[in-house]
Structure 1
Amino acid sequence: MVHPHPSARSLGRIGLIVGAATSLSKVGGLVRQLALAAAFGIGPAYDAYNYAYVVPGFLLILLGGINGPFHSAMVSVLAKRDRQEVRRLLENVNTMVGTALALVTVALVLGAELVIDVTAPGLALAGKETVRQLAVLQVRLMAPLALVAGLVGLGFGALNAADAFWLPSLSPLLSSGAVLAGLGWLWWQLGTDIGAPEQAVLGGIVLGISTTAGGLLQWLAQLPAMGRLGLGWPRLRWHWRDAGVWEVLRVMGPATLSSGMLYIAVFTDLFFASLLPQTGVAAGLTYANLLVQTPLGIVSSMVLVPLLPALSRLVRAGDGEGFRRQLRWGLMVSIAAMLPMGAMLMVLAEPLIRTIYGHGAFDTRAAELVSALLVAYGLGMPAYLARDVLVRAFYALEDAVTPFRIAAVSIGLNVVLDWGLTGGLTPAGPLLPFNFGAAGLVLATMGVNVSAALSLMISLKRHGQSLPWRPLLRDGLALLLATAAAALAGALTSHLVDWPQGFVGGVLELLVSAGLGLVSYGLLAQHLRVAEAAALLQLLRRRLRGRGDPGPGPEAD
């Protein structure tokens, strides 16, 4: 066997290692984005990069990411085998997958123009020629990521199966470091002209090469660790009839298809973003999404991680009432957390963008675009997390079909809403009288999440687990009232006080304004006696004090 069954103590140690390494990687990713904003803003080099990265980045995240299908397939299959068998199987799978992905790499190089024309047809419009040319060039430069991604995912799966956890979790830091090194070289060469339009081609080339180098570094970093653990060095072995190979492929195939559906919304948004008359939309979406993912990540880790096992235990025990109570807790705590956070992002979007991104090439036009997108993201945050909570309920009920069907329908709805909320774009111009511009893409995602959440709620009835609507609506309206008070307090504090200029003044404005808004929300929500608001505060207190959560739910709080 690759490793013995880990004890509770070792699982806790593994969790600490993974948590620390992941945190370092997240910090590295944040520093990278801040450097990109200062260097390029929403200029053509970085705007083109976001279109060009769609396919290579999709493959890197899907195939090479931790918990991606390649990683998960290797962990599940290799954990059952001894080290000698693991080495042979890994060589076989690497050879087969590597050959297939090498062909994908060649196809991306040769078909780069077709890739951009299909995923971002709007770049062929007048005024976007530079962005299109750069995007095509960057697709070719980043095409090797297709091959590298598969090898990275397989290798990290093998390392995890051998109880090596820190390197897979830390590896994204290598990609961030490579991009930062590329930006450092570019700054050394160009100085303050790094974001100048006439330097866009050089900037785009550096971005493409450094991104590919980062992926290659992730793979190269695996090799010494795999050799040290007896997992072997790269070697071609073509025994495609090996039963283990087909076991890996049987796990990998459906998982890849299912995971891939999650990224179709990204393709759809960028497709319509390219059709908008304004430039820089793809870059703006990336900057705004980064700010939204921080609060979403914090709350989802607090609520979603313990929720699924808790719901699963109640299903096994046949406790329907406990299941509904637990699900209501997860749903309402998520909404209780996301409403004020979303409201603060909406009313403090301008000072937040100015403070975090407002340096270097990130000019007024960039700030206005990203602020508008951030307002739209803030509006949709509660629906995003509510949908994820309800999906966990179906997984606990061992029903993966219903969420899959709803996700499939949501793809079509996302296309319709993207088209409709951006004015009904046609070659002759907008067809509809209302047009939310770039923010319409984010609002479309919100509409899809609301629709999916409602569909999941209704579908719970088939399992005899439907939640009572009246108490949910009553408490939801109470939370909306508290959110309105929070938004008013935050907005008034931000606008009526003469805050100092500069970064320190911006941080002070954000801390005080958001702090007063959140305090107002907490006091009013508790006064209105929404149980989950009090539960959320207790959950936060436990986390801040470093105490373990005894388990989600009313009983735990």
Structure 2
Amino acid sequence: MALLRSIATVGGYTLISRVTGFARDILVAGLLGAGTVSDAFFVAFRFPNLFRRLFAEGAFQAAFVPIFAGLLETDGREVARTFARRAFSVLALILLVFTAAMEVLMPFAMIVMAPGFDAVPGKMELATELTRIAFPYLLFISLVSLQSGVLNSLGHFGAAAAAPILLNLTLIAALVGFTPLMETPGHALAWGVFAAGVIQFAWLAWHCRRAGMGLLPPIRPKLTPRVRLLGRRILPVVLGGSLYQINLLIGTILASLLADGAVSWLYYADRVTQLPLGVIGVAVSTALLPLLSRQLKAGQWDAARHNQNRALEFALLLTLPAAAALMVIPGPIIGTLFERGAFSPADTAATAAALMAFAAGLPSYVLVKILAQAFFAREDTAMPVRIAAAAMGANIVLNLILMQIWGHVGIALAAALSNWGNAIALAVVLHRRGTLGVDARLRARLPRIALATALMAAALWGGALALDDVMALGDPARPLALAGLVLGGIVVYGVAAQLSGAASVGELKAMLRRKGEARMQAPVPPE
């Protein structure tokens, strides 16, 4: 399996997901704007998503994939499938109990999640109601994450990467089709979240069965040695692999204490940041973990180090220009995407400022996702926890300081700075252990990538100034001007990267065709 080919598969579907996500957010912004209903829904949506990313997408994948991939190599598909079904049953039981408990405790949870909502009459009650509707999404999407781990370990990346597209399409359908029947558009969206969880679960269940790894019907939950091993590995990875989501939660809590709309400004800015983060960071880390796990189990240290260097190179090749673009033209991006209907020019300015701050940390978000895989593939979950705990403490301190100066922008900047600290610390530890040897090719490429990025940023800045009057005309001139800016930036960066030697078109084509290493062996405890 070629690493770059796997990245391209995940990244391609993730790109479609982000595009449909933007279509969804454009509709949300037009109907809800940035106010009471939008703030309440975004908290309702973020709450189950937080637990999903902490316990399922981040921790579960990092703990489950190395064990499952090892069983595939050493014991065969049926033993691996039995382990997956056992893990599925235990996870489903835990999630059922947890979801039921949270439904009962939701009013108290909202006091923690959004303490500032009490200042606006009815806002806390609305957030509680919407979150109760949407929260069962956690149950279904967490089981989706397990099924994704199974398919990714088999080298089938497409179905799992396409699942978020179903979420976006379902929410669009709910917003367009059911808003007239509901009390508010927020209610239609909350029910859409619930329905999307069921649809995504059914989609992955069908693909697992098609791949010969069906997990249904569930078997009796049992804490076998392998399931206990999985549990021991999940708990520390919760912090180690999910600092970004924890920082977003802290930011949401603090933003609820600021102006009405601050939660929404941060949400929209984060959504734009998620495009390159999802397409690049998630794609690279998703494809890298199974490959590193197999190579390290086989003792192929040089191959693992080479793939880690290529993952870093490929990620930085795309992330640095993306971050620069978001920092140079945040206003045109936010205005074009969201400024219509209930979303005002003031909302655009506030969201664009937050986007600049989030974008400053974009490369670090991707680096953390990649570097964390080097620990998880080596079954070391303790060190990332220590590093993440320190970075989370720094984030809280920075939030409390910077929000006093810059309000919601200070919250976004605190998240960026603390995540840079996390990335640097992970890299230093790996380097000291001798498991992060930056090779000559990566050392030579980094300054060239930086040069190409600087040239592109200068071109975007000049282009934005030249098109300022056109942008002021609104639709349809503004989207066309932004498209011209983006296309021009891509051309400038592509030419500069080719001429400087930062990247080679022929080399990328060769990497896409290259086959990966043979499958490896991995000892795991008996069932």
Residue in structure 2 matched with residue 432 of structure 1 by the alignment: none
Corresponding residue to 2:47 among 51, 55, 62:
55
The 1:134–1:249 alpha-carbon spacing in structure 2 relative to 1, beyond 3 Å, is farther
Question: 1:204-243 maps to which residues of 2 (within 5 A)?
Answer: 204-221=186-203, 231=214, 234=217, 238=220, 240=222, 243=224
Matched, 1:535 2:506: no
Question: 1:81-230 maps to which residues of 2 (within 5 A)?
Answer: 90=85, 96-124=90-118, 126=119, 128-154=120-146, 167-188=159-180, 202-221=184-203
Q: Which structure has the larger Rg over C-alpha atoms?
A: 1
The 1:296–1:215 alpha-carbon spacing in structure 2 relative to 1, beyond 3 Å, is closer
| Coordinate RMSD, CA, aligned | 4.8
Which stretch shows the higher mean deviation, 43-52 or 148-157? 148-157
Residue in structure 1 matched with residue 414 of structure 2 by the alignment: 444
Matched, 1:32 2:24: yes
The 1:417–1:551 alpha-carbon spacing in structure 2 relative to 1, beyond 3 Å, is farther
The 1:71–1:22 alpha-carbon spacing in structure 2 relative to 1, beyond 3 Å, is farther
Deviation of 1:396 after TM superposition, in Å, equals 7.8
> CA contact under 8 A between 1:348 and 1:491: conserved in structure 2?
yes
Question: 1:143-542 maps to which residues of 2 (within 5 A)?
Answer: 143-154=135-146, 167-188=159-180, 202-221=184-203, 231=214, 234=217, 238=220, 240=222, 243=224, 246-261=225-240, 262=242, 263-276=245-258, 278-300=259-281, 337-388=318-369, 390-391=371-372, 401-423=382-404, 435-459=405-429, 462-463=432-433, 486-497=456-467, 498-499=469-470, 501-514=473-486, 534-536=501-503, 538=504
The 1:494–1:113 alpha-carbon spacing in structure 2 relative to 1, beyond 3 Å, is same
> CA contact under 8 A between 2:35 and 2:261: conserved in structure 1?
yes
The 1:409–1:499 alpha-carbon spacing in structure 2 relative to 1, beyond 3 Å, is same
> CA contact under 8 A between 1:74 and 1:158: conserved in structure 2?
no
Name the amino acid aligned to 1:185.
G
Name the amino acid aligned to 1:177.
L
> CA contact under 8 A between 1:49 and 1:208: conserved in structure 2?
yes
| Cα deviations by residue, 1:374-421 (Å, 9 ceiling, x for unpaired) | 111232233434445555666688865443321221111111111111
Name the amino acid aligned to 1:170.
A
Structure 2 CA distance, aligned partners of 1:230 and 1:451?
Answer: 40
Structure 1 CA distance, aligned partners of 2:312 and 2:153?
Answer: 34
Structure 2 CA distance, aligned partners of 1:307 and 1:485?
Answer: 30
Deviation of 1:258 after TM superposition, in Å, equals 0.7
The 1:493–1:404 alpha-carbon spacing in structure 2 relative to 1, beyond 3 Å, is same
- SS of the equivalent of 1:68 reads helix
Name the amino acid aligned to 1:283.
S
Name the amino acid aligned to 2:276.
P
The 1:170–1:253 alpha-carbon spacing in structure 2 relative to 1, beyond 3 Å, is farther
Deviation of 1:422 after TM superposition, in Å, equals 0.5
> CA contact under 8 A between 1:151 and 1:219: conserved in structure 2?
yes
- SS of the equivalent of 2:37 reads helix
Deviation of 1:446 after TM superposition, in Å, equals 1.9
Structure 2 CA distance, aligned partners of 1:272 and 1:32?
Answer: 26
Name the amino acid aligned to 1:548.
L
Structure 2 CA distance, aligned partners of 1:130 and 1:380?
Answer: 35
- SS of the equivalent of 2:512 reads coil
The 1:81–1:491 alpha-carbon spacing in structure 2 relative to 1, beyond 3 Å, is closer
> CA contact under 8 A between 2:236 and 2:381: conserved in structure 1?
no
Structure 2 CA distance, aligned partners of 1:120 and 1:336?
Answer: 38
Deviation of 1:113 after TM superposition, in Å, equals 1.1
> CA contact under 8 A between 1:78 and 1:86: conserved in structure 2?
no
> CA contact under 8 A between 1:77 and 1:248: conserved in structure 2?
no
> CA contact under 8 A between 2:11 and 2:278: conserved in structure 1?
no
Name the amino acid aligned to 2:121.
E
Structure 1 CA distance, aligned partners of 2:277 and 2:256?
Answer: 27
> CA contact under 8 A between 1:102 and 1:146: conserved in structure 2?
no
Structure 2 CA distance, aligned partners of 1:453 and 1:88?
Answer: 33
> CA contact under 8 A between 1:59 and 1:149: conserved in structure 2?
no
> CA contact under 8 A between 2:430 and 2:436: conserved in structure 1?
yes
Name the amino acid aligned to 2:425.
S
Name the amino acid aligned to 2:170.
A
Residue in structure 2 matched with residue 431 of structure 1 by the alignment: none
Deviation of 1:129 after TM superposition, in Å, equals 3.3
The 1:68–1:279 alpha-carbon spacing in structure 2 relative to 1, beyond 3 Å, is farther
Corresponding residue to 2:61 among 65, 68, 76:
68
Q: Which has the higher contact order (CA 8 A, sep 6+)?
A: 2
Which ranges of structure 1 fall in alignment gaps of 5 or more residues? 1-7, 190-198, 424-434, 528-532, 553-557
Which stretch shows the higher mean deviation, 250-259 or 410-419? 250-259
| Cα deviations by residue, 1:69-111 (Å, 9 ceiling, x for unpaired) | 6864895598556769957983x65554433322222211211
Structure 2 CA distance, aligned partners of 1:104 and 1:272?
Answer: 25
Deviation of 1:461 after TM superposition, in Å, equals 5.6
The 1:140–1:551 alpha-carbon spacing in structure 2 relative to 1, beyond 3 Å, is same
- SS of the equivalent of 1:361 reads coil
Structure 2 CA distance, aligned partners of 1:41 and 1:248?
Answer: 45
Matched positions, count: 502
The 1:256–1:360 alpha-carbon spacing in structure 2 relative to 1, beyond 3 Å, is farther
> CA contact under 8 A between 1:71 and 1:153: conserved in structure 2?
no
Structure 2 CA distance, aligned partners of 1:330 and 1:18?
Answer: 14
Name the amino acid aligned to 2:501.
A
Which stretch shows the higher mean deviation, 25-34 or 360-369? 25-34
Deviation of 1:495 after TM superposition, in Å, equals 2.1
Please give the TM-score of this superposition, normalised by the length of structure 2: 0.76
Deviation of 1:548 after TM superposition, in Å, equals 2.1
Structure 2 CA distance, aligned partners of 1:99 and 1:307?
Answer: 30
The 1:326–1:14 alpha-carbon spacing in structure 2 relative to 1, beyond 3 Å, is closer
